[in-house]
Amino acid sequence: MASAHYIFGCVDCDLQRSYDSPAGDYAYQLLDGQQLPMLTGPSWCADCRNLSPAERLPSAEGEAALLKTLLCLRLDMANLLKEVPKKRPWWQFYAKPVNGLNQLESQISQQEQQLDAYRTLRAALAERASPARCLLCGSTDHQPLTLPTKPDQPQVLSITHPGCGGQLTVQISKQRTQKLGQKQLFDLEGRQFQNS
């Protein structure tokens, strides 16, 4: 997965924190040794008093949103295929790929994989008792921050910089960073395994 680089700031002070998404190689390890990739996002952690990567727990709403995107893509595909026979006979259709068809196919298969992984993770975490944790200190006292989808536009978040009162901002940075660090493993309650 390609990683993107973000800069968080504050409208009232010179706070500047960078964040890479995905934050790192975080995974849950099940009792049988199987590993499931964790969903993560930036949070303001009250205990770290800093921006930190945090868990995002899968939810019914999250699954519904992924499913909706998949259904929209499939509808696009159906519409695209419906138009084809009117324009040209089928042998030409197979001989020459339709514009956008391959791209749509790969988008659909990516979306299907993402939905599958999400469902597997949600099922694995069905018995989860504790809320999402900060991945640096394990605290559950943190406020999730959203990442912008539009490039180049700094976005003011509806979250204030604790202890300062200014509103937090975020923007995508053009700077690319290479991901380093090793895989970190957690149990299904989000507690890090202390083996190394």
Residues near Zn ion (CB under 5 A) are 10, 12-13, 15, 45, 47-48, 52, 134, 136-137, 139, 161, 164, 166
* Minimum distance, C-beta of residue 70 to Zn ion, in the bound complex (Å): 34
* Minimum distance, C-beta of residue 167 to Zn ion, in the bound complex (Å): 8
Is-contact 132 55, C-beta < 8 A?
yes
* Minimum distance, C-beta of residue 130 to Zn ion, in the bound complex (Å): 14
* Minimum distance, C-beta of residue 42 to Zn ion, in the bound complex (Å): 12
Nearer of residues 52 and 111 to Zn ion, judged by Cβ: 52
- Residues 6 or more apart in contact with residue 175 via CB below 8 angstroms: 5
* Minimum distance, C-beta of residue 76 to Zn ion, in the bound complex (Å): 41
Nearer of residues 4 and 137 to Zn ion, judged by Cβ: 137
Nearer of residues 117 and 159 to Zn ion, judged by Cβ: 159
- Residues 6 or more apart in contact with residue 67 via CB below 8 angstroms: 115
Nearer of residues 13 and 65 to Zn ion, judged by Cβ: 13
Task: Enumerate the β-bridge partners of residue 52.
Answer: 43
Nearer of residues 13 and 123 to Zn ion, judged by Cβ: 13
Which residue's structure tokens are 């493993």? 185
- 151 vs 155: CA distance, rounded Å: 10
Going edge to edge, which strands form the sheet with 50-55? Answer: 50-55, 40-45, 142-144
Cα 83 to Cα 79, 80, 91, 93: the distances in Å are 7, 6, 15, 11
**Kind of pairing between the strands at 26-29 and 184-186:** parallel
